[in-house]
Amino acid sequence: MSDLKPIITIEHLQKVFEGKSGTVRALDDISLEIGAGEIFGIIGLSGAGKSTLVRCINFLEVPTGGRVIFDGMDLGTLDPKALRQARRSMGMIFQQFNLLMQRTALGNVCFPLEIAGVDKAKARQRGMELLKIVGLEERAGAYPSQLSGGQKQRVAIARALATNPKVLLCDEATSALDPTTTRSILALLKEINQTLGITIIVITHEMKVIEEICQRVAIIDQSNIAEVGHVSEVFANPKSGIAKQLVFSQPSAQVPFSKRQVYRIVFDGRSSFEPVIANLVLECRAPVNILYADTRDIEGQAVGQMVIQLPEDELAAQRVLGYLKTHQIPYEEVEAHV
C-alpha cells in the first residue's frame, strides 16, 4: 500500500477476451492502489497483461470483472459523457508515439484542446506553453517526420498534458528509444511529476526504466500480480519466481553462465551493430555475456566479430541462436577460455 491518498484503486480487475480462437484471460484478479503524486511502475514479460491493464485503467477496454476507482469515481458506473470527462484527466503516451503525421508539433498538441472546444488562439497559446515544458518550442512548426524519436515522444507528452490530466499513463513509452534518449525522456517524466504533481504510471518490460524513476512497482505475471512494493525492496529481495527472473536477468546482476556455449558472431557489414545486440537481448529475453568484441561502425554498418557466451538456461540459449539464424547473422561455436 502507498502512504499517499489513492488516486486509482483497482479491485479484483478481470479481463477476458472471447475470440474465434478461444478465451484469453488477460487479467485474472488484479488489485492495486496507486497513490496521488507517485511514479508507479508495472513490469512484466511480453504477454503478461500489461497493456490490457493500462487500457482497463482508463476504460479504453471495459473490464469483464472488478472495479476501477479513479479520483473517487467508479468508472464502471459513469455514463459515456462522464467517462469521457474522466478520461481527459488521464493522459496517455505510447511506444509508437501515435502522432498525426499531417499536423505540426503544435498542431498535434492543440488537437485534444480543439476537440474539447477550446478556441484556436487559446489552444495555440496553451500548446506553445506545453511545448516549452517539454523543451520543443523551437520545433513547433516541424512535422513528425522531421523529428527524432525522442522529440516525437516529447510532442506526445505535451499533447497528453494538454487537458491537464491528473494521471499520465505511459505504455512502453521509451521502448523504441536508444538508451540516452530513454534517459532524457525519463528525466522529463520525473520533472513533470515533481513540478506539476501528476501521478505517473509506467508500463514497461525493462527493469532499468523502473529503477530510474519509479517509487513503487507491481510485477505482473500470467495475468496476476506476482509482487508489489517499493522498488528498492523488490529489487533487493525479490520473492516471486518472476521477480527473481527479472532482477537477476539485469546485465549488472549475477547470471549463471557455463563455460560452454561460447559463440563468435561475425558482423559482415550487412547489419548495424546496436540494434542487433539490443534486439537480441530484448526479443530473446536472455542475457548474453560479451567476452570479446572487435567491431567497427562504418557508416552505421557493423564490421568485425564479437564473442558472446549464452546463458545456461537451454531455452534462452536456443532463443538466441534462433534469433541469429533468422536474422542471417553468421555465427560459430568456439572453445571457451573463461
Ligand X SMILES: Nc1ncnc2c1ncn2[C@@H]1O[C@H](COP(=O)(O)OP(=O)(O)OP(=O)(O)O)[C@@H](O)[C@H]1O
Counting DSSP H helices and E strands in the chain, the numbers are 11, 14
282 vs 155: CA distance, rounded Å: 26
Q: Which is nearer to ligand X, 24 or 316 (CB)?
A: 24
78 vs 72: CA distance, rounded Å: 12
41 binds ligand X (CB under 6 A): no
Cα four-point dihedral sign 143, 149, 150, 152 = positive
Q: What is the DSSP letter of 98?
A: -
29 vs 178: CA distance, rounded Å: 35
The runs of H, that is alpha helices, within the chain are 50-57, 80-88, 105-115, 120-133, 149-161, 179-196, 207-213, 231-236, 241-248, 273-284, 314-326
Among 44, 63, 91, 150, binds ligand X (CB under 6 A): 44
Single out the segment in contact with ligand X by CB under 6 A; choices: 1-9, 44-52, 161-169, 211-219.
44-52
Among 41, 49, 91, 112, binds ligand X (CB under 6 A): 49
Among 32, 41, 51, 277, binds ligand X (CB under 6 A): 51
Q: Which is nearer to ligand X, 23 or 102 (CB)?
A: 23
CA atoms within 13 A on the CB side of 293: 14
Instruction: Mark residues 189-228: x for contact with ligand X by CB under 6 A, - for none.
Output: ----------------x-----------------------
45 vs 179: CA distance, rounded Å: 20
Q: Which is nearer to ligand X, 46 or 237 (CB)?
A: 46
Among 13, 48, 86, 134, binds ligand X (CB under 6 A): 48
CB 26, min distance to ligand X, A: 3
Q: Which is nearer to ligand X, 316 or 336 (CB)?
A: 316
60 binds ligand X (CB under 6 A): no
Binding to ligand X, residues 16-35 (CB under 6 A): 17, 19, 24, 26
242 binds ligand X (CB under 6 A): no
Chain residues binding ligand X by CB under 6 A are 17, 19, 24, 26, 44, 46-52, 205
